[in-house]
A and B are shown apart, each in its own frame.
Chain A
Amino acid sequence: MSLLPFLLLTGIGAIAVVALRERQPVATAVGLAALGLAVLAAALIRPDQSIVIGTTGIATTDYLRVFLLLATMVALLLAIVGEATEGRRIVPAAALGILASCALALSLPDPRVAVLAATAGGAFGALVALVPDAGRMGATVGTRVLRATAVSGTMAIAATAWIGRDLSDLAAQPIVFGLAYLAFALAVAIRFGAIPAHTWAARLTDAVPETTLPLVTAIGPAALAIVALAWADASIAPLALDLTSIRFVILVVAIASILLASVAAWIQDDVEHVVGYAIVGDAGVVLLAVAALDPAAWAPARIWILAFVVARSAFAAWAAATRATFGTGRIADLKGWAIRAPGLAVVLALVVVASIGLPGLAAAEARGQLIALVLDGPLAYLVILGTLSPLLYYGRLFAIGIDRTGGTTRVAWRPVLHRLDLTDVRASLRRAWADNRLVTATAGAGILAVLALIVSAGAFGGPQAAAGLPPTIGESVESFGPGEPVPASDAPSAAPSGEPVSPSPASPSTSPSPAIPSQAPSVEPQPSS
């Protein structure tokens, strides 16, 4: 099973970093080494493998490999940028723990178990609050993160448990399914810090370095969102129930997040809050996919999630590098930053293209498909404009950046190279690292920005992987695209959307295609409005 090395590396790495936390340089080195090895382990994951444990098990998919590969690369680059800009204490441990929980959540076919793994990832994320201030303030912020995670986990566990059984004799179908769907959707919204459940994320943004934000508010919640999409497509969507009012609530949260987060980011006076609200705004698009309740949203949503995770991480890395370069994160004090540090301007330009997207880029097309699936008419145009509204705060950042009143003297951008002193190699390396911190931070942000751009364009086989099926125990059905015929091996569990299906509740995900529900309880369909 090719997933096991990844799980072992991340799990043991997290424990090792925590155990070595008193010896900070060693812990950092171990954490970075574990993240580097985890990148290799993620690349070596093979799809279509499974292990049966009890009545369920874990299984690999191509999307699992792509997601983990990108998330691990992002975590490694953020760790390097974080180390170059400010100390990160136990962040590598939290990152490794979050990656391990994401791997489990995305490889478990049973959503009732997958949400538990995703919840554990949120608990790892709470520790990030202790990075800058391992005292009372960090504990207060971390407790709020932990509470949001617990509330979200509780709602997701209850929702999946409610639906994950035989509901042939269910009395009030639309109400029950609607409430379960709403609970899971709101659980995802809470984990992302979507508006109006954004308070905990805002306090986290107050407290932690920019480079740690994507771990807690993007990578970890993304795994829960993917589980939610698979669950909704397999359990709720095929029933063709009239859930208009429920979807309306989720749509309001999604649209509010998209629009208001941009406004909030625009009026902030420091770059870390801009990053925090930018993540919330893009998470609103993920919530649109949850609100779609349509298997057609499956692939675009998962493409968008990949681009979202990498692009927002690149933005966070840019913010950290900018803060370190100019010694301030206040936007008003960053006048002339783009003139003085053209490298950072190029990085932000790449981030803008990757996150806003150009026509033809996979992420932009996916976002357009999601909006078209959920909305039409003037509201659709409003939301399209809303997804372009980050241009407001990007424009503000660039406008500040070309303001010459802040000075035009270029900051040093070339690496500082010393002759290696073989009589004291350690001191020589330490000095080289200290002299090249800013260059390292900018380079790390640049690599992340390029990565974001190519992921947004559909590299790494993202669109193909995103169109695949959720993890399945047993024979592989990963290789066919969404438009191709279903293999004969899957025919027994297939049923047209809306027709009653009656799977065994004990093995709820034997063929969890978005279009071929297997977790759907056996209920009579109702006409959809």
Chain B
Amino acid sequence: MNPLLAAIALAVVAGTVVAVASRDARVAILGAAVALIGTPVLADPLPAPLGLAGRFVGAILAAYLLWIVARDRGRGRAPSAATGGSRIGWPAETLVAASAFVVGLAAHGLGAPAMGTSLASATGFAVAALAVPAAMTGADVLRVGIGSLLLLDAALLVRTGLGGTPDQLEQLITTGAIVVVAGALATLAGSARDDGTGGFGFSLEGRRRRRREADAHRIEPRIGDLSR
């Protein structure tokens, strides 16, 4: 096992733990950035320099778009909004990640010889184990969004573990997909932050079925109105 790759895998998992456990939005985004930047390096052999550079730029751009939303205080000039954070605390999240890492390492190849490094599969499992609860049970835009972004990142890691190092076109498309997802998330998070004082929290209306009331109808002008 390549110790450098192991260190990067550790960094990616640690970044994910921070991303899903922290209540400070900026710290969570920093954790997600570490995970996104480390992901393309977790390949053996390393990707071609151009593709790798593209992934780095994409990861940094994705994190920066989110950072802008978390950094700015919005139109209400309220304090920087917080995100939900972990319900079970970072030590428990770390243990979940460690367990999933071991499972991923043991299940490397999923029944057949894999073309990539086992560390990518293991890290992918760990990231997925942390991202799924954040995406599914989160109650604010940023937590669910970061969970979704990390879920995609986990799939990309497992894909690298199974299929080997992606080629340059795949790196380019991956970069585009991550930037688009992060850009959409940043736009949504900014919209939530700018609306009232609820920070990134969900609204009740968008979570449950809305019962449509009767629409307002144009009132026909009355004689009295016309004569004025």
Contact = CB atoms under 8 A, between A and B. Distances in A.
A436 interface: no
B77 to A, nearest CB: 17
Interface size class of B (residues with CB under 8 A): 35 or more
A144 interface: yes
A136 B149 contact: no
B189 interface: yes
B31 to A, nearest CB: 17
Contacts of B177: 116-117, 119-120, 123, 153
Interface in A276-330: 327-330
A168 B177 CA distance: 32
Interface string B127-162: 010000001100001001101110110111011001
B110 A176 contact: yes
B212 A136 contact: no
Nearest to B148: A150
B163 interface: yes
Interface stretch (B16-24, B93-101, B213-221): B213-221
A328 B214 CA distance: 8
Interface string B67-111: 000000000000000000000000000000000000000000011
B169 A56 contact: yes
Interface string A370-398: 00000000000000000000000000000
B7 interface: no
Given A146-B148, A161-B158, A165-B162, A136 B203 contact: yes
Contacts of A123: 177, 180-181, 183-184
Contact of B203 (A117, A130, A137, A167): A137
Nearest to B200: A139
B173 A330 contact: no
B207 to A, nearest CB: 6
Nearest to A105: B173
A203 interface: yes
B112 A167 contact: yes
Q: Is the interface of A mostly helix, strand, loop or mixed?
A: helix
B206 A207 contact: yes
Interface string A184-208: 0000000000000000001100110
Given A138-B206, A206-B210, A113 B144 contact: no
A126 B136 CA distance: 17
A424 interface: no
Contacts of B166: 112
A129 to B, nearest CB: 8
A333 B218 CA distance: 13
A53 B206 CA distance: 43
A150 B147 CA distance: 9
A150 B152 contact: yes
Nearest to A140: B206
B209 A150 contact: no
Contacts of A242: none
Contact of B149 (A150, A203, A505): A150
A238 B168 CA distance: 29
Contacts of A162: 110, 162
Given A57-B169, A120-B176, A164-B163, A140 B192 contact: yes
Contacts of A143: 141, 144-145, 185, 188, 202
Nearest to A117: B173
A333 B215 contact: yes
B201 interface: yes
B135 A150 contact: yes
B174 interface: yes
Contact of B192 (A139, A165, A269): A139
A112 B141 contact: no
Interface string A146-177: 11011101110110111011111111100110
Interface string A40-56: 00000000000001111
Interface of B: 48, 51, 110-115, 128, 135-136, 141, 144-145, 147-149, 151-152, 154-156, 158-159, 162-164, 166-170, 172-174, 176-177, 180-181, 183-185, 187-189, 191-192, 194-196, 198, 201-203, 205-207, 209-210, 212, 214-218
Given A135-B192, A327-B218, 12 more contacts: A58-B169, A97-B180, A101-B180, A119-B152, A135-B195, A135-B196, A138-B191, A139-B141, A143-B185, A165-B114, A165-B115, A175-B111
